Amino acid sequence: MTRLILASSSPYRKELLERLHVEFECISPDIDEASLENEQPRAYVQRLAIEKAAKIGKTQVDSLIIGSDQCCVNNNIILGKPKDRDNAIEQLNAASGKYIEFLTGVSIQHPQSGWHREWMDRFTVEFRELSLAEIERYLDTEQPFNCAGSFKSEKLGISLCKSMRGDDPTALIGLPLIRVAQCLREFGLQVP
């Protein structure tokens, strides 16, 4: 049986992949996640997803490896994880009343055979007008400091939204399971 590896240290991606009831292990790829000069958001998340899977693939050549990366985009500016509370307030204040894109790049690779699939999922969130008090209450309750754009939709963050648009709600959390499951089945793994 082919070993499945999630090239990530993200507890959110781990929790998502567990939904598929497949055996896997997590190995952190420990790569530099800085964007390149003039790199566009879509290219950025796709490059990082591919690099994460490829790094693990160098030592785990007979495994199927899933790499994924997500960024939040406001006016074509990449917003990463906030550095601190002040940065989180700044990010959410800038998102107030706007449409914000969440881009998730995915790369699934089997280095030994050369089999691979890569894609990018897009999810758009329309934030409602947010007061500073609402932002601070959300940050105090949710502590989303390890989330792109300081936004954690799976809990209280949903209350910050006016609307959402996308094909797969799990893409917003960081790993689009609809297509991941499809790719795992295509490779030959048993996924319910």
* Given the residues 30, 32, 62, 69, the one annotated as active site: 69
* Tokens of residue 135, six digits: 């932002």
Is residue 69 part of the annotated active site? The answer reads yes
Catalytic residues: 69
